[in-house]
Amino acid sequence: MASIPAADMIPEVIAPSPSPMIYRTKLPVRIWHWINAFSIFVMLMSGMMIFNAHPHLYWGHFGANFDQPWLTIGNRGHAGYLWIAGLEVPTTGVLGYAMDTMRAFPPLVTLPGSYNLAGARQIHFAVAWMLGISGTAFFIYGIISGHLRRDLGLKREERSIAHLWHDIKEHAQLRFPKGEAARAYNPIQKIAYIGVIFVLIPVVILTGLTMSPTMDAAWPWLTEVFGGRQSARSIHFLCAAGFAGFIVIHLLMVVLAGPINEMRSMVTGWYRLPKENAK
Amino acid sequence: MTLITRRNALVGGAGLLLAGCDQIIASPTTQSLLKIGEDASYGAARAVTDRNALAREFTRAEMSPVFRANGTLNPGTAEYNAMVASNFADWQLRVDGMVAKPFTMGLAQLKAAPARTQITRHDCVEGWSAIGEWTGVPLGLLLRRANVSSNARYVVFHCADLYSGTPYYESVDMIDAFHPQSILAHHMNGQPLTVNHGAPLRLRVERQLGYKQAKYVMRIEAVASLDGIHGGKGGFWEDHSGYQWFAGI
């Protein structure tokens, strides 16, 4: 029942409360989190507007109206659909046709709301700088401060399949770590953050650069790595879907784990360790 | 009597939210902040990349089976129709502006001039790409022949097609103008340029997007500033819809 106070805890904080507050999230991490929360939302929304200009995805170097896409979001009159490699799903009201608009992504989720490719590109490429610069700064901070290794690196005992499987089952049953175990990120959480920081963000930036004809000329390895500009565009879109999926699960976890405590820890850094055996 | 359904309230609320977002985006402050990003992209592209880097060239086997024609598919003006009827026999390209020796050149002369053939990828701002083969006269050759002034900073391409009464035009900086792959193409995929692809002459600037690839080019003008040329933003789409002048991304 009683949690053992850590050596660095401030006595008056632990004394009256059975579930102590800990300073869990350092300022640079919080700043980066909120810059990302803003920039990734803006990138997704302006990106969906850009996608609306040509709602088809292809593999390879080229791909246009006469070529075979692997994904299309379209509409037949007032019926919207999503077509993926031969499989068609009706999506009226969500994709293809929604809000009385014949567009792949509806006005509610795009920036700007009205069709404006030039405006969306202006937003997308300006905020891309914000995402790239803050990401680079965070990366340097994360390495120098040891944050990446200490807080996101999987500990030896966390690297076994059995341990991860146990953690997945606990998550699926909405049983989250309590007490001292909640002091650090849990393994699935670490893997999700590692996926965003080391896979999604670098790949989305590199595939974004691959869509630039000037960058392709300067760095020809870009199209080599991704298998062509249209493949890069497809991967860019899949990364965006990955970000969207991450955000949904991330927000769901915040709500399930205690939104006030989680929000406070990401705003002020202070996090209340959840009580053990709480009923 | 008005029935406020949850759906209506949701759609109405969303409408207000959208209008609010669009208002923030349209504000001069937001626009000037976003312009910093645009300038940074152009600056970075010129600062950190090799200015003479060549766009990838492909083999015939890698070409698009059908190359999509986009933008104006036929200028359709009386003057243009007459040129098509005479197979561009009297058509003349004019090279002028800040040059010591302005000149005009007929299509036969252009076709007889040294040419470069390249199979390159055309990227539309909308997101699609098509690969085709282009043959034409290097733009640098024409600019050198006209002895372009060292004070010229841009090259403007005036075109024969009109968009709701406004002539299409485009412009590039001197780096792209003298880039070895910047050509005025008179052949595409081994055939004389067709009307829908910009006959008799179109620009290829291989490190920029499709809207820079001006079709139906009639006149090439070297200038020190883009101010005072049509809307002053350096191109039809730039003036008309706010597309970025630097179309390298």
- Give the gap in angstroms from C-alpha A195 to the nearest C-alpha of chain B: 27
pLDDT tens sequence across B52-82: 999 999 999 999 999 999 999 999 999 999 9
pLDDT value of position A139: 94
φ/ψ of A102, rounded to 5, equals -90, 85
- Give the gap in angstroms from C-alpha B16 to the nearest C-alpha of chain A: 10
Chain A: residue nearest B7 by CA? A99
Interface size A-B, in CB pairs within 8 Å, comes to 143
Strand partners, B219: B94, B158
Strand partners, A84: A71, A87
pLDDT value of position A5: 47
Chain B: residue nearest A63 by CA? B129
Q: Would you call A82 helix, strand, or coil by DSSP? A: strand
Q: How far is A47 from A40, CA to CA, in rounded Å?
A: 10
Using alpha carbons, select from A67, A18, A48 the residue that is nearest to residue A124.
A48
- Give the gap in angstroms from C-alpha B227 to the nearest C-alpha of chain A: 21
Q: Are B45 and A214 within 8 A, CB to CB?
A: yes
pLDDT value of position A15: 47
Using alpha carbons, select from B171, B178, B169 the residue that is nearest to residue B150.
B178
Using alpha carbons, select from B46, B15, B9 the residue that is nearest to residue B207.
B46
Listed in sequence order, the DSSP H helices in chain A are 11-14, 27-52, 117-144, 147, 161-172, 187-194, 201-210, 213-218, 221-226, 229-257, 259-267
Q: How far is B215 from B188, CA to CA, in rounded Å?
A: 12
Does ipTM top 0.85?
A: yes
pLDDT value of position B12: 66
The secondary structure of A14-66 as a DSSP string is: HTT-SS-EEE-S-HHHHHHHHHHHHHHHHHHHHHHHHHHTS-EE-SSS-B-TT
pLDDT value of position A274: 87
pLDDT tens sequence across B11-37: 666 667 777 888 888 899 999 999 999
* Contact between B119 and A62 (Cβ < 8 Å): no
- Give the gap in angstroms from C-alpha A269 to the nearest C-alpha of chain B: 30
Chain B: residue nearest A58 by CA? B128
pLDDT tens sequence across B181-240: 999 999 999 999 999 999 999 999 999 999 999 999 999 999 999 999 999 999 999 999
**Position B112 pLDDT exceeds 60:** yes
pLDDT value of position A176: 87
Q: How far is A207 from A47, CA to CA, in rounded Å?
A: 13
Which residues of chain A fall short of a pLDDT of 50? 1-7, 9, 11-12, 14-15, 278-279
Q: What percentage of residues in chain B have a pLDDT greater than 70?
A: 94
Q: Which residues contact A235 (CB under 8 A, 6 or more apart)?
A: A203, A207, A226
Angle between helices A229-257 and A259-267 (to 10 degrees): 120
Collect all residues of chain B within an 8 Å Cβ-Cβ radius of residue A123: 25, 34
Q: How far is B190 from B136, CA to CA, in rounded Å?
A: 11
Collect all residues of chain B within an 8 Å Cβ-Cβ radius of residue A99: 11, 14
Higher pLDDT residue, B49 or A7? B49
pLDDT value of position B6: 57
User: Whole-number mean pLDDT of chain B?
Assistant: 94
Among the partner-chain residues B121, B243, B248, the one whose CB lies closest to the CB of A229 is B121
φ/ψ of B10, rounded to 5, equals -65, -50
pLDDT value of position A2: 43
Structure tokens at B240: 């008309």
Q: How far is A114 from B73, CA to CA, in rounded Å?
A: 27
Q: Cis before residue B114, ω within 30 degrees of 0? A: no
Q: How far is A47 from A237, CA to CA, in rounded Å?
A: 9
Mutate to test the interface with A, among B23, B25, B189 (most CBs of A within 10 A): B25
Q: Are B62 and A213 within 8 A, CB to CB?
A: no
* Contact between B187 and B136 (Cβ < 8 Å): yes
Question: What length is written for chain B?
Answer: 249
